[in-house]
Amino acid sequence: MENQTFVIWDGQTVSLTWQPYKQLHASDIVTSVHGYCFLDEKLVLVQVKGRGFNVPGGHVEKGEVPEQALRREVYEEAYVAGELTYIGAIKVDHSKNEEFTENGKYPKVGYQLFYRMDITKCFPFLRQFETTARIWVEPEQVPYVMNDHEVALLVLKEAMASKRKMVSNSE
């Protein structure tokens, strides 16, 4: 599986490139944050209205740093909290998008940041925000349940590998 794919979002072609452990520069624009959240070796997926099952995440709001935004999004969507480990970024590139609008909602090149969360607290699922369901999935079942592009499976693979790295570093 390659680390790049092209997707059609809102009728527009966008390039997505997975970059494990990419260190961003101050000039890089982070548009969203996402968490592969694990409890007892299972991944939590949430059903967002109109989008199917996916990992929790969302946009970084003004004044937030990425980790704050992710903690907020994970709580709002999955009602969990835990310890974060940065695992990489997806470069979202609109350069080949003929319909791209310079002063639109998104930059020509932006980044979605990804983290592994080891859940330490699971709260009752209240459906107060945009999600309608929370499920726990064995990682090998994710391709059959999650509605996303194939690069998301590379991110899952890195999230799972980061756990092994954490365990071997602590020994």
DSSP 141: G
| CATH code matching the domain that covers 4-170, chosen among 3.90.79.10, 1.10.3080.10, 3.30.450.90, 1.10.10.10 | 3.90.79.10
Contacts of 71-76 with C-beta under 8 Å, sequence gap 24+, read 73/33, 73/34, 73/35, 74/35, 74/37, 74/117, 75/123, 76/128, 76/129, 76/130, 76/131
What pLDDT was estimated at residue 117? Answer: 98
CB-neighbour burial class of residue 45 (10 A; exposed 0-12, middle 13-18, buried 19+): buried
- Secondary structure of residue 95 in the 3-state scheme: coil
Q: Where do the domains of the chain lie?
A: 4-170
Cross-strand partners of 85? 116
Cross-strand partners of 46? 54, 134
Q: Does the model's pTM come out above 0.85? A: yes
SS (H, E, C) 14-53: EEEEEEECCCCCCCCCEEEEEEEEEECCEEEEEEECCCEE
Smallest CA-to-CA distance from 116 within 39, 63, 54 is with 39
Report residues of the chain scoring pLDDT below 70. 1, 164-171
Q: How far apart are the first and last CA of the chain?
A: 31
Per-residue model confidence as pLDDT tens digits over 151-171: 999 999 999 998 755 544 444
What pLDDT was estimated at residue 171? Answer: 43
